[in-house]
């Protein structure tokens, strides 16, 4: 279900995920760069046409909400990223993430990673 989103569309989706539901004015106020009201409304309509958001009417206002739960959207975007930049290899992703920044991981982060690996191997946590 992954459809490419523009930078501004991703920013709008981030706002909607953070707020849960929002009017165009709420979205506009939360976006960087002070986009115009008409730009935000147009982009919300585009996102609705792409199937990413829905709206309901409260009085004279449209209230927008994401159509897909954030965890599902995250999974889809991550799958797209892995396929596009890492040839579908999760190992390459982990290597890239741990590469030069491995020394900056806290003991808690390292333990969490180790736990995930054990579970993937079918070992007890």
Tell me the pLDDT tens digit for each residue of 105-122.
788 988 888 898 899 898
Tens digits of per-residue pLDDT, 66-119? 998 888 878 877 888 899 889 998 888 888 878 766 667 788 988 888 898 899
Beta bridge partners of 63: 23, 56
Domain with CATH 1.10.10.10 in the chain: 7-66
For the entire predicted model, the pTM comes to: 0.66
pLDDT of 2 > 60? The answer is: no
Pick the CATH number of 7-66 from 3.40.430.10, 1.10.3210.50, 1.10.10.10, 2.130.10.10: 1.10.10.10
Instruction: Identify the bridge partners of residue 66 per DSSP, sorted by sequence position.
Output: 53
How does 13-52 read in b/e, with b if 16+ C-beta sit within 10 Å? Answer: bebbeeeeebbbebbbebbeeebeeeebbebbebbeeeeb
pLDDT at residue 1 greater than cutoff 50:
no
Q: What is the pLDDT of residue 96?
A: 83
pLDDT tens for 49-60 read: 999 999 999 999
């Amino acid at each position: 279900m992954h459809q490419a989103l523009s930078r501004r569309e991703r920013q709008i989706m981030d706002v909607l995920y953070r707020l849960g539901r929002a009017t165009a004015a709420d979205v506009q106020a939360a976006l960087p760069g002070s986009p115009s009201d008409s730009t935000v409304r147009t982009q919300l309509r585009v996102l609705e046409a792409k199937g990413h958001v829905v709206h309901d009417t409260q009085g004279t206002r449209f209230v927008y909400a994401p159509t897909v739960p954030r965890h599902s959207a995250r999974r889809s975007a991550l799958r797209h990223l892995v396929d596009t930049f890492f040839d579908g290899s999760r190992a390459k992703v982990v290597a890239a993430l741990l590469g030069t920044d491995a020394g900056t991981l806290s003991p808690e982060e390292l333990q969490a990673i180790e736990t995930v690996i054990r579970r993937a191997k079918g070992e007890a946590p």
